[in-house]
Amino acid sequence: MNYRSNVWTPFTTLVIKEFNRFIRIWVQTVLPPGIMMALYFAIFGKLIGERIGEMDGYAYIDFIVPGLILMAVITNSYANVVSSFYQAKFGRYIEEILVSPVPNWVILAGYVGGGVARGMVVGVLVTIVAMFFTDLQVHNYLVTLLVFFLTSVLFSLGGFINAVYAKNFDDIAIVPTFVLTPLTYLGGIFYSIQLLPDFWQTASLANPILYMVNAFRYGLIGISDINIMWAFVIILFFITVLASFSMRLLNKGVGLRS
C-alpha cells in the first residue's frame, strides 16, 4: 500500500461522489442560488441600488456583488457538507466509509473537498450571473481566489461539525437559519461598517464573516473596511480550530460509533 492507494484514491473517490451527488440534484443545489442572486442583483443592485448611489466611491451594485458571491459560496459549501454527511449518517451508508481503510483525515478532506466543489460551482455561476448586471473587474486575482477557496473550506468544516452533532433534519437547518444567515447579512455585504455608529462598528469586528467579505471585496474592487492580512489570519485561525475539532470528533467517533 502506498500514498496513492491509501490517500489519493479514497480522497478523489469521495470528492467525485460528492460532486456527482450535487450535480445529480442540480435543480435543488445549483440552480436556486443562481436565481436568488439574480434577484438580489436586479432588486438591490439595480432597482434600489441606483437610488442609493455610491458606496465608498463605487456604484452600489459593484459594492454588493463581492459579498453576494461570497454569501453563495458560504451557504452552499456549508449546506453541501451538512446535508450530505447527515444523510449518510441517517441512511447509514456512512458505514461504507467507516468500515473501509480510509484514514479519518481523508474522510474529512473528502467531504470538505465536496463542499468546496459545490462552493466553486455555485460561486462561478453567481459570478457569471453578476456579469449580466455589471462590468466585473478583478483588482487582485490571488487575494480573490485565496479568499474564495479558504472561505469555502472554512464553512465546509462548519457544515461537517454540524452534521456530526445533528440527530434529526431540524438540527441541520438551525445553524444555517439562525446563525449563518444573520452573520452573513451583518457581515458587511450590503453596507460599509463605516456607516455604523462606533459601538456597532466595534461589535461588527467580532463577526468573522465581515473579514471574509471585505477581503473578497478587496480582491475584486480594491476596497476594504479591514486590514487584508487580518482577514487571512482570522480565516486560517478558524480553519485550524474547526479542522482540529472535526478530527477530534472523527477520532472519537462522536455520532458515528457507539
Nearer to another protein, 93 or 132 (CB): 93
Helix (H, G, I), strand (E, B) or coil at 171: helix
Report the alpha-carbon distance of residue 199 to residue 173 in Å, rounded. Answer: 31
How many residues would you count in the chain?
A: 258
Nearer to another protein, 2 or 168 (CB): 2
Residue list 73-92, contact with another protein (CB under 8 A): 88, 91-92
Report the alpha-carbon distance of residue 192 to residue 52 in Å, rounded. Answer: 13
Nearer to another protein, 53 or 101 (CB): 101
3-state secondary structure 109-148: HHHHHHHHHHHHHHHHHHHHHHCCCCCCCCCCHHHHHHHH
Candidate list 96, 178, 179, 200; residue touching another protein; CB under 8 A:
96
Candidate list 9, 28, 202, 240; residue touching another protein; CB under 8 A:
9
CB of 82 to another protein, least distance (A): 17
Establish if 27 lies at the interface with another protein (CB under 8 A): no
Residue list 215-234, contact with another protein (CB under 8 A): none
Nearer to another protein, 28 or 244 (CB): 28
Q: Please give the full DSSP string across 57-84, using - where no structure is assigned.
A: TEEHHHHHHHHHHHHHHHHHHHHHHHHH
Report the alpha-carbon distance of residue 192 to residue 201 in Å, rounded. Answer: 9
Nearer to another protein, 1 or 142 (CB): 1
Establish if 102 lies at the interface with another protein (CB under 8 A): yes
Q: Which stretch binds another protein (CB under 8 A): 10-18, 26-34, 64-72, 200-208?
A: 10-18
Q: Is residue 112 within 8 Å of residue 160, measured between CB atoms?
A: yes
Which positions lie near another protein, rule CB under 8 A? Answer: 1, 4-6, 9-10, 12-14, 16-17, 20, 24, 88, 91-93, 95-103, 253, 257-258
